[in-house]
Structure 1
């Protein structure tokens, strides 16, 4: 059957067709975006017609939909937010990989794919099968790196810990933060950091990290360096935000002081900062394998709300 893979740019009605595509159903239990959310993202320029792709049959019937996301000022999409295939399609992975490949060719890049899932998604056979064909399609389209992340959320009911005085926090220059980014990357349990360090040195990664967090919606004035009371460098705290809510941007303790509970002090500083600004929700993520960081979130009253399955191009050789 002849198929056409195209963005929603040919006709003004295309966007309404993208909005009207069913968001969920018993045959596809992967959580999808409903019509209101799609409209909101389009209005915010975080979804765009050229980032909204269809697979159509020769009669113009939509068989699959892919929605890529970016910030309002992004030149190219940053992530695939939604991938759906009609239940009557016998080989959803095959159709999906062709749709992804068409989008990737147009973008000149392979944006990562974020799948937001319930914490126990593997225990539900239908959900596990729906994830499996998406993983297969993403891998075949070049997104062969897989990271599973815990998404945490803090709300005011959890409260905040009082400062203990074990650390002193202060403002710092970009050069100082560059130095700390490089220090904190060494020995990191974060899988993305480990992968990046296989492709570049710590100083180059620090420059990338600094540029990334400067580009986030959070304010540069929020950032703090952490020291022991005697002035010994200890770590840093970067409260930040997404286009939707405040979050724990970046935090860490220098390698020589890890294992002493100081991460609780750094996380506490970020949480207190956001809470004092009136935040009713603070989100955070960490890899499932980064057990010390997950334990720190647990101790601080953050709770796991979902699993993020991230499929991306692998970094490094």
Structure 2
């Protein structure tokens, strides 16, 4: 293999309050570090189902399709100041342009359809960000969403998430999965406000880039 494999440890929410689980994780973390897997990220897994209801957007945004070049530019813009650990890691390792290309290529390779992707704009045509409904081999999922730096803090993340959820729900999705880093508190809060339930916590250990 070109790189050591990822090491995933699956936990339940609130695991830190359980001494036995904390101890079981501690020796696994030591083993991972000894094997050179020194990059550690704690990720939350969320899940939506129809009984939770489809979140309603504010109506402030319009969503349109666009070509790869337009999406690539937005990938680059929303990476600036991102709280996502993998995005930050990519920026540090490859620089903005190459990191954006790698991020976009990843979602192009996912099982979701390319024509699901949307760019979001305000009524006056100002770019807000992107919303990428995607899929795993098992379920539709919230692939990627982000707001350009100058428009963050205005609640647009809720509109992007509502659009992704609606697009999947309209296609009859019975389950939609999503993940975000524990450190990305705004995104985790947005999932919870939209009715998504936390179903799993994962500690992911990997080798440095």
What range describes the TM-score normalised by the shorter chain of this pair? Answer: over 0.9
- Alpha-carbon distance, 1:235 to partner: 0.4
Q: 1:157 maps to which residue?
A: 51
- Alpha-carbon distance, 1:122 to partner: 2.2
RMSD, aligned CA: 1.1
Partner of 2:94, secondary structure, is: coil
- Which of 80, 86, 89 is 1:192 aligned to? 86
Q: 2:98 maps to which residue?
A: 204
Matched, 1:139 2:33: yes
- Alpha-carbon distance, 1:133 to partner: 1.8
Structure 2 CA distance for aligned equivalents of residues 161 and 127 of structure 1 = 35
- Which of 87, 103, 116 is 2:10 aligned to? 116
Q: 1:173 maps to which residue?
A: 67
Q: 2:191 maps to which residue?
A: 297
Superposed CA deviations along residues 198-246 of structure 1, whole A, max 9, x for unmatched, are: 1122111110011100100111111001111111111000000111111
- Alpha-carbon distance, 1:308 to partner: 1.2
Partner of 2:93, secondary structure, is: coil
Structure 2 CA distance for aligned equivalents of residues 165 and 252 of structure 1 = 17
Q: 2:109 maps to which residue?
A: 215
Q: 1:258 maps to which residue?
A: 152
- Alpha-carbon distance, 1:181 to partner: 0.3
Structure 1 CA distance for aligned equivalents of residues 38 and 55 of structure 2 = 40
Superposed CA deviations along residues 79-133 of structure 1, whole A, max 9, x for unmatched, are: xxxxxxxxxxxxxxxxxxxxxxxxxxxx242121121110122222222222222
Structure 2 CA distance for aligned equivalents of residues 121 and 163 of structure 1 = 33
Structure 1 CA distance for aligned equivalents of residues 171 and 116 of structure 2 = 11
Match runs of 1:1-317 below 5 Å: 107-315=1-209
* Stretches of structure 1 lacking an aligned partner (at least 5 in a row): 1-106
- Alpha-carbon distance, 1:268 to partner: 0.3
* Stretches of structure 2 lacking an aligned partner (at least 5 in a row): none
Structure 2 CA distance for aligned equivalents of residues 203 and 216 of structure 1 = 21
Superposed CA deviations along residues 129-178 of structure 1, whole A, max 9, x for unmatched, are: 22222211111111101111111111111111234320100001000010
